[in-house]
Each structure stands twice: as C-alpha cells, then as structure tokens.
Structure 1
Amino acid sequence: MNLRTEQANRRHKQAALAALVLLLLAGCGSPSTAQAPPPEASEPASSGDGHGAISGVAEVAEPQLHLVAIDAEGETSMLDLLNGTQSRLGKVRPPADVSTDGRYVFAAGNTGVDIVDSGAWTWDHVDHFHYYRAEAKNIGKVDGEGTATIATGMLSTAGTTGMFFPTSGEAVLLDNAALSRGSISETLRVKTEPHAGLIAPLGEGAVVTESDNAGNAARLRAIDAKGGELASTACPAAAGTITTRVGLVIGCSDGAVLATADGTTPEFERIPYPQGAAAPATEFDGRKGRPTVAGLGTDAGVWLLNTRQRTWEWLPTTTPVVAAATVDDTDHHVVLIGADGTVQVYDALRKERLAATKPLVAASLADPAYADKIQITVDAQRAYVNAPAEGLVYEIDFADGARIARTLELPTKPLHFVETGR
C-alpha cells in the first residue's frame, strides 16, 4: 500500500469515529470534541481546568499526530502523520536524550534541556478526549549540570514537568500552563546531593529521590509545592518513572513504588517483584496514560506492571529486548524491538508471540553511535521505530501481523525521535 493510500485510510477511520461520537456526545459542549472508548469505572478524573484549550488555538476532531526528529547536531524537524507535511523546527543544543509528554519535546544535554513545542496535544478527560493544534515553536532552555532525567504528567497544559540534573543534584519543576503560553517558569528548584536521581510530578508537588552515603538513589521523598517533605519511603536503586491513569510509578531494585495523591496528601504503595524475579526494570514505557506499562531490564523478556491490579508479570521473549512498550488494548498487545533488529508483537495475556518483522534496525544496532538510540513509541493504532543508520522511521501496524504500514523519512536524521499529538 502506498503512502497516500495509507494516510487516507487512517484519516478516514479516525474521521468516521469522530463523526460517530459527535452524534453521541452529550457532555463538555464543544462541537469539535471526539470521544474515546469508555474507560474502566475505577479510572480517576483528570485534573485541571479548560479541557486543555488555549486562547487562539483551534480545537479539532482527531488527534494531530506528528513525529519530531533531532539529529546529532541538534537540527530538528517534524512530520505530520496525517497529511505527510514536513517542516524544520530549527536547532537545539545536541542532546544525549530526548523525551516527550505528548506535546513538548525535551532535548536533554550535558548543560541543560532545550524545549520545543510541537503545537499538537490531546487533553485526556477520562471518558473522552479533546484535540488541539497550534504553531510549533522553540520555547527555550533550562540550564543545568549533567543530562537531566525528565518526568512528565498526564496533561501538557496543567500541572508540572520534572527535570533532575545529576551532576549538580538540582531538581526542577516547570509550570506546564506557562509552557503552553510559550514561556518557561520554574515553580520549584530544590538542591539535593549529586546523584543519578529524578523528580516526578505528583498532585500539587512532586516525588524526588534522595541518595545514600554511596551516592546512589535510595529513598523517595514526597514534597509539596514549596519543597516541604510530606512523606518518604525506601526505594533502593531508584530508576525509571512513568505516570499512568492510576498514579506515578518509580522503579526500585526490589519492585516499584506507586505514588498517588488525594488532594495534597501523598501515599506510597510498594509493588514487590515475585519471588525469584529476573533482573529488575530500569525504564518503563507504554501507550500514554494506560494502566499497564512495560518494564525493560537486561534479560530476554519484559516486565509487565499493571498499576491498577498492583501486579507484575514476566513476558518471556525469543530474543533479548532493546526497547518495549505496551499498547494495553483489548488484545493485550506488547510491541518490542529484539536484539536481532526485528520488531515483534506479543499477546501479553497468552504470553505468545503473534508476529515479527524482518530485521529493520540491524545496521543501527551494529553501529555504536546509534545502538543505544533505538526507540519505540506506540499509540492506539500504530507503533513507530527509528532507524538512524538507515535514516528512516518505520510505522508498524501491530494489529495486522506487524505489517510495515509506512517507511517514513524526515528532513533530519532520526537519531532521536518522539511522537506528539497524543
């Protein structure tokens, strides 16, 4: 299937869904609001006012999905996945790591974080979504020492974003409402002992790591908006964080801590690994907001953490895993990149591999300059995998036998890439 036909089919499906739900939608009152499949009854309401709307920004009927790529020199470009339009977004400082909350692109290097607004975002209102599109722009920089660990929340126009700078030990919270207006405003900057730590938004405050005498992240502190401690708990070798509908996840060597906040009161709940567990997960990924996430360790397999049920499950794989993400849909899809360069799709419920591609990123994995930059991102319909040595991004239809739906090129080599508009 060619590029134009694939785009047309995808847009037709999304438009049909949007048209159907417009007939059914009785709440929130916006004629351009599309509704998502009903969530489980136990899902909490999203916080924030205004449904993500920004003055002068258009609300649209479908998610405005884009890919943003950054090359080794910091040149940045964007591809509109709906209509194929390409654009250049200027230059940032060459990053060591790049992440997103679904709208902003955080390019972290040794001297700080550059922030690019992709201009596309989704407001998650639990039982339905609102979609917005604005002009993309480079917002600015947050200075810091060491490559920052970034932690984001559920909403790009409300709450905060966390940045932890390991060399200085500074933990920073940025105001997302200010970012949505194109400015950088620090709501908090806390000094800790230098270590490889993190600060992650929680309620009106955050969770920040505390180091032990050896300089390792070993404890979690829940703090209020002014930095005052509210609660604490042990978390040996704390590493990896993600926010789900249920709460904030932080990985520990003995399991995970699930942090939730009822108003201003934080709670820590431990989810220990099963007896005799394999290597612990040090990073987590999954479809934005969904309760089950993939935890990546070092063995041939993936940890599946269900934050609603507070359980871990081990998904064995046929190869060691480079990257993995849960779709957390009704078919329990997990999509991963194998060490052989293949993209593989698993059924998490049956612990069964459903399909695999031919090796797509073998050349990138074989090159030391690219091997640790291979990433995967998933949305409700597709998975995307970057192949920087090949200069491509692959769009995978995980529900159709891992079919390569499109082979995409951006104006800049995708050494780093993210999907926005989610």
Structure 2
Amino acid sequence: MRSRITLFALTGALTVSLVACSSGPVDRASSESSDDGHGAVAGAEEVAEPQLGLTSIDADGAVSHLDLLDESVTDIGEISAPSALTTDGRYLFAQTDDGIEIVDSGVWTWDHIDHFHYYRAAPAVLGSVPGEGMAAVATTNLSTTGGTGISFAGSGEAVLLDTQALSKGEISELFRIEREPHAGLVVPVGSFALVTEASDGVGTSVRGYTADGEETGLDVPCVAPSGTITTRVGAVIGCQDGALLAHVDGDELQVERIPYPAGTTAPPAESFDNREGRPTVAGLAGSEGIWMLDTRARSWTLLPYPAPLAQVTAVDDEDGHLLALAQDGRVLVLNGDDGSVLAETAPLAAQSLSSGAEPTLIADQHRAYLSAPIEHRLYEIDYADAARIARTFETATEPAFVAETGR
C-alpha cells in the first residue's frame, strides 16, 4: 500500500510531462498474476504511454482529474467530505465519516515484469464501504486483480474487497470479519490476506485467511502492528520488533520475520514509503534516525538523522538515493548507504509544516514532487542534479487531497 497522501486541491492545469518506467530485476513474489489480460478490462483502451494524472478531492468532496499529458481537467463527481486518502495508483480510497468512499481515476499501468501495459477508461465515483472509525487501507501493485484490505479501528471489522470487481465498477466484499476494535491492518497477499488480531485494544498477531474468509492456520506474533507496503518481493507489515514479509509460494502463504538489529534502541518504523514497487523502503525511527528495510536482503539499516525530519522515502535507484523532507521545509537528497547529505533545497514548505498542513514528498524514477499547500505550490525536483528545482507550479486553492494516478 502506498502512504496516505495529503496534498492540495488543484484548479486549472499544470504543465507536466512525466514518463513512468521501472528498472532492475523484479521478484514479484507477492503481486504477480496469471491474468492473461495483462490488466485489460472491458471498455478500457490500451494506449502507448502511461496516462499519468493528478486526481484530486477538495475539502467538500468534489473530485476532478488533471491529465498531465494534455492538461485537460475532468470533473468526476462528488463524495462526502474526506479526512484522509490512500491510493494504489488507480483508485482513491477516501476516509469519510461513514467509512471509505472509492474513486476510480480510470487510468492505470500493468507491470508485467519485463514490459508494461497502459490503459485508459472512463473515471467514476464507485461508491462506499461502510465502517466505523479511522480505516487503514492496504493495496497491492496491481489494480485489476487480487484484493484490497480495509481495517476499521472503531468497529474492528476486517474487510477484503475484490479488486477485479473494482476494475469493473463494482464494490464486492470477499469477506468481512468481526474482531476486537484496534488500529489494525488487512493486508492482501496474492489470493490470501493477513489480518491483525488484538488483545485489550492492542494488536498482537496476524492471521492468514483465504479470499473467502477461511483461516489458513497461519498465526504469527506481531505486537503493535503499524505500517504496510507492497514491494517487488512481498507485502511488508511493521511490528514492534521488526517486520513481517509475506508472499505466496505455489499455493501457500509464506511469512518471514525480519527482526531489527540486535541491541537497537531506536523506535520502530510506523510507516513505510518508497518509489512504487521497489524492494527497499524507508521509515522514520522516531526522532533518532531513518530505518531502511531491504526486502530482498531481508535486512535493516539505521541511518543517522541529518536534521529533524517530517517524511522519508526510498528512491532505490542505481545510486541508492533516499529523499527526506526536513521539518524546516527543505528537501534533502541523502546517500542511502550512510545517510550523508548529497544535496538540499531551500525551505520550500516551511509555512505548510508550521501550520500542520502536511506537505507530501513523492519519489518518481527521475523526479521528486513536493506539495507546499499553504504556499500554494507544487515543486518538481531533480534529485540527481543537486536537488535542482526543475519546475514550480502555482495553485490558488486551500489544502485537500491529491493522488498521482495512471502509474
């Protein structure tokens, strides 16, 4: 699953041209599909390049899509007022007072390991999934197959949605399981799901379930589960003592534990972020450093804190770049091996950070994107070229929610 994205509502068009691609070998243990359609669905058009866009939801729930290729803006519809947003690169899962409302941006990429397929279809507001309290949404890297997990903290209900049905415009629950209320997770892994269990309101373990809600017998300790992300190797779940890495081997759900280094006193990572799908992820170790998790090597690295930080994300490119947003609004380009600062920008989002507007730093293969909501700006940063500001885009609106879609 990608991290919650808190950017700003967009008015008008931004002149942006992006190319989505990937590099390096892939394991795809957790997300490879035997779907012969390569991500195609009825009514969708296969196109020659990724249909990247920014799909936004304003504070009142109005949904619009900005096509980053031709700069056209499409009004998709309206939902209830959102308070948080999660995306998988196609769908937007918006937290509202009554649960999760789902928007289909209508653009997506199918990653087939050695090549890609790009699609465009009609965008739509699909409907809602009812539930109580804050919801944690977990996705895979594929938007036409598998499942999407939702865990409602207020009621404790664990929901697995049929992602293939979503691709056809339908909201279909594969299962809904009652549990003790807690801030938990439902993490899709191939045709299975890992569901957290709790005692006295605190998560204690994860159990394996089939897509129809039957227990597999897998029950793995995981105290205080927090944070999940799907990499090229498997699905990651953060625990107090490290992380669980899950994938499907043949017809069996497999879970490995990756413990934190012996003797560490740094706080555990509570969330993870990276360039989508890459095997290495990053998370803050409280105020003491940066955790890097290499899911291929099954190893953690604790990097020094270069400055008080608000966010980190692993680029995981050939040069091992790591990006960080400092609490004073600077974007830092770090060496992912030792944490040294390679380059930095001026304070670009200082007002937003000081006001609690939560700017978001996004890593792409060639660029980084930083939202500065209060400053009404979006910055495009060439992190490989001394953190050069490649472009600056103005917006005249107050903060809302935006997701990069079509990837």
Q: Same fold (TM over 0.5)?
A: yes
- Corresponding residue number in structure 2 for 1:175: 162
Matched, 1:416 2:404: no
For residues 171 and 66 of structure 2, the distance between their equivalents in structure 1, rounded to whole angstroms, comes to 25
Per the alignment, do residues 387 and 92 of structure 1 end up closer, same or farther by CA in structure 2, a change over 3 Å counting?
A: farther
For residues 376 and 50 of structure 2, the distance between their equivalents in structure 1, rounded to whole angstroms, comes to 26
Stretch deviating more after TM superposition (398-407 or 229-238): 398-407
Per the alignment, do residues 147 and 347 of structure 1 end up closer, same or farther by CA in structure 2, a change over 3 Å counting?
A: same
- Among 354, 357, 366, the residue aligned to 1:366: 354
Per the TM alignment, residue 54 of structure 1 is displaced from its structure 2 partner at its CA by 1.6
Three-state SS of the structure 2 residue aligned to 1:385 is strand
- Corresponding residue number in structure 1 for 2:77: 90
- Corresponding residue number in structure 2 for 1:352: 340
- Among 177, 180, 189, the residue aligned to 1:193: 180
- Among 382, 400, 403, the residue aligned to 1:397: 382
Per the alignment, do residues 84 and 35 of structure 1 end up closer, same or farther by CA in structure 2, a change over 3 Å counting?
A: closer
Matched, 1:377 2:329: no
- Corresponding residue number in structure 1 for 2:43: 56
- Among 245, 250, 256, the residue aligned to 1:269: 256
Matched, 1:323 2:323: no
Per the alignment, do residues 35 and 348 of structure 1 end up closer, same or farther by CA in structure 2, a change over 3 Å counting?
A: closer
Per the TM alignment, residue 408 of structure 1 is displaced from its structure 2 partner at its CA by 2.8
What does residue range 182-221 of structure 1 map to in structure 2 within 5 Å?
A: 182-212=169-199, 214-221=200-207
For residues 308 and 179 of structure 1, the distance between their equivalents in structure 2, rounded to whole angstroms, comes to 31
Per the TM alignment, residue 350 of structure 1 is displaced from its structure 2 partner at its CA by 4.2
For residues 212 and 367 of structure 2, the distance between their equivalents in structure 1, rounded to whole angstroms, comes to 40
Contact in 2 for aligned 1:111/1:147 (Cα 8 Å): no
- Among 122, 133, 141, the residue aligned to 1:146: 133
Per the alignment, do residues 6 and 78 of structure 1 end up closer, same or farther by CA in structure 2, a change over 3 Å counting?
A: closer
Q: Give a deviation string over 1:320-346, Cα, whole Å, max 9, x none.
A: 221111111111111121111111111
Per the TM alignment, residue 412 of structure 1 is displaced from its structure 2 partner at its CA by 5.3
Q: Give a deviation string over 1:370-417, Cα, whole Å, max 9, x none.
A: 2xx322222212222222212332222222222222223468544322
Per the alignment, do residues 402 and 135 of structure 1 end up closer, same or farther by CA in structure 2, a change over 3 Å counting?
A: farther
Stretch deviating more after TM superposition (184-193 or 389-398): 389-398
Per the alignment, do residues 306 and 279 of structure 1 end up closer, same or farther by CA in structure 2, a change over 3 Å counting?
A: same
For residues 277 and 154 of structure 2, the distance between their equivalents in structure 1, rounded to whole angstroms, comes to 30
Stretch deviating more after TM superposition (352-361 or 62-71): 62-71
Q: Which runs of 5+ in 1 are unaligned?
A: 15-33
- Among 232, 235, 250, the residue aligned to 1:248: 235
For residues 113 and 48 of structure 2, the distance between their equivalents in structure 1, rounded to whole angstroms, comes to 17
- Corresponding residue number in structure 2 for 1:297: 285
Contact in 1 for aligned 2:303/2:338 (Cα 8 Å): no
Contact in 1 for aligned 2:174/2:213 (Cα 8 Å): no
Equivalent AA in structure 1 for residue 202 of structure 2? N
Q: Give a deviation string over 1:101-144, Cα, whole Å, max 9, x none.
A: 11001111232111111111111111111111222221111111
Per the alignment, do residues 92 and 393 of structure 1 end up closer, same or farther by CA in structure 2, a change over 3 Å counting?
A: farther
TM-score, normalized by length of structure 2? 0.90
Using CA pairs under 8 Å that are at least 6 residues apart, name the structure with larger relative contact order, 1 or 2.
Answer: 2
- Corresponding residue number in structure 1 for 2:114: 127
Equivalent AA in structure 2 for residue 220 of structure 1? V
- Among 271, 295, 298, the residue aligned to 1:310: 298
Three-state SS of the structure 2 residue aligned to 1:173 is strand
Per the TM alignment, residue 296 of structure 1 is displaced from its structure 2 partner at its CA by 2.4
Contact in 1 for aligned 2:102/2:127 (Cα 8 Å): yes
- Among 225, 228, 232, the residue aligned to 2:211: 225
Per the alignment, do residues 184 and 169 of structure 1 end up closer, same or farther by CA in structure 2, a change over 3 Å counting?
A: same
For residues 187 and 198 of structure 2, the distance between their equivalents in structure 1, rounded to whole angstroms, comes to 16
For residues 405 and 300 of structure 1, the distance between their equivalents in structure 2, rounded to whole angstroms, comes to 31
For residues 80 and 379 of structure 1, the distance between their equivalents in structure 2, rounded to whole angstroms, comes to 17
For residues 135 and 310 of structure 1, the distance between their equivalents in structure 2, rounded to whole angstroms, comes to 41
Per the TM alignment, residue 193 of structure 1 is displaced from its structure 2 partner at its CA by 0.8
Stretch deviating more after TM superposition (288-297 or 146-155): 288-297
Three-state SS of the structure 1 residue aligned to 2:272 is strand
Equivalent AA in structure 2 for residue 302 of structure 1? I
Contact in 1 for aligned 2:94/2:100 (Cα 8 Å): yes
For residues 77 and 6 of structure 1, the distance between their equivalents in structure 2, rounded to whole angstroms, comes to 16
For residues 410 and 84 of structure 1, the distance between their equivalents in structure 2, rounded to whole angstroms, comes to 14
Stretch deviating more after TM superposition (46-55 or 157-166): 46-55
* Number of residues of Structure 1 aligned to a counterpart in Structure 2: 391
- Among 66, 70, 73, the residue aligned to 2:53: 66
Q: Determine what percentage of the aligned residue pairs are the same residue.
A: 50
Equivalent AA in structure 2 for residue 262 of structure 1? D
Three-state SS of the structure 2 residue aligned to 1:59 is strand
Per the TM alignment, residue 99 of structure 1 is displaced from its structure 2 partner at its CA by 1.0
Contact in 2 for aligned 1:174/1:187 (Cα 8 Å): yes
For residues 168 and 14 of structure 2, the distance between their equivalents in structure 1, rounded to whole angstroms, comes to 36
Per the alignment, do residues 319 and 141 of structure 1 end up closer, same or farther by CA in structure 2, a change over 3 Å counting?
A: same
Q: Give a deviation string over 1:85-111, Cα, whole Å, max 9, x none.
A: 333333222222101011001111232
Q: Which runs of 5+ in 2 are unaligned?
A: 1-12
Q: Give a deviation string over 1:205-241, Cα, whole Å, max 9, x none.
A: 20000001x2101111111122222201111111100
For residues 348 and 21 of structure 2, the distance between their equivalents in structure 1, rounded to whole angstroms, comes to 35
